[in-house]
Amino acid sequence: MIEIRFHGRGGQGTVVASILMSKAFYRAGWQVQSFPFFGVERRGAPVEAYLRLDEKPILLRTNVYTPDHVLVQDSTLLHSIDVTRGLKPGGWILLNSPGTPENVERYAGFRLAWIDAGRLAARHGLGTRTHPIVNTTMIGAFARVLEIPPMEAIEEAISEEVFIKTGKNIESARDAYREVQKVGLIRKAGTG
């Protein structure tokens, strides 16, 4: 079983990102289960959503404590939240970041990737320049980083679920798939 945690802020479509991803994986033949952090959502407040993937039907109906990978939609969260909480060693962290993230040592033991999703989403007119909607862009990048599911499944899931600017969302996801930067495994300082 693979468990994925999505970080974002209320109003950024974080829960929708997890649902889109679940539908894309289901199309690609996986068993899926996705759910938001069980709580009360407020705009701007940190939110989490989760996705479980398996080849066989998923029986476990509990919270996710030790994700295999995490996706971070908003890098301002990094100041207040430990996005590596419970993350399994070697797990991918995909950050929405305008450039190579600073202080990468703090992700030692994990694999890091980043994408300037805000710029891509704004370029495609998703949301506004100050508040771009990055969820579809992020999952395009994530599909490349994890090497699953196929990009076609992501595109089909967006077509099925996103009714506003569907084409632009798909284009932005495709751009992210191409442009995402994999930094790879971050080693502890001094270990070469």
Partner 1 sequence: MKRVLEGSQAVAEAVRLSRVAVISAYPITPQTHIVETLSDFCAQGKMNARFLRVESEHSALASLIGAATTGVRAFTATSGQGLALMHEVLHWTSGARLPIVMAEVNRALAPGWNIWIDQTDSLAQRDTGWIQFYCESGQEVLDTVIQSYRLGEEVNMPVMVVLDAFFLSHTYEPVDVPEQEEVDRFLPPFVPKFKADPAAPCAFGPLVPPAAYMEMRHSMAQAMEEALRCYPAMEEAFEGLFGRRYGMVEAVHCEGSDIVLVTTGTVTSTCRQVLEELRGKGEKVGLLKLRMFRPFPTDEIRRHLGGAKKVAVIDRNFSFGASGIFAQEIRAALCNEPGHPPVFGFVAGIGGRDVTADTLKGIYEHVKAKESPDRESVWVGLQEVRNEA
Residues that bind partner 1 (CB under 8 A): 19, 22-23, 26, 31-36, 38, 40, 58-63
- Tokens of residue 166, six digits: 């569907």
Smallest gap from residue 172 Cβ to partner 1 (A): 22
CB-based contact 20:158 (threshold 8 Å): yes
Nearer Cβ to partner 1 (39/190): 39
Contact (Cβ atoms closer than 8 angstroms) between residue 109 and residue 89: yes
Kindly provide the residue ranges of all beta strands, DSSP E only, lying in 25-169, ordered along the sequence: 31-36, 46-54, 69-72, 92-96, 111-115
Q: Closer CB to partner 1, residue 41 or residue 82?
A: 41
Residue 68 Cβ, how far from partner 1 at the closest point, in Å? 17
* Cβ nearer to partner 1, comparing 35 with 181: 35
- 3-class secondary structure, 144: helix
Nearer to partner 1, 25 or 114 (CB): 25
DSSP 188: P
SS3 state at 31: strand
CA distance 60 to 24: 21
Give the shortest CB-167-to-partner 1 separation in angstroms. Answer: 22
Cβ at position 17, least distance to partner 1 in Å: 12
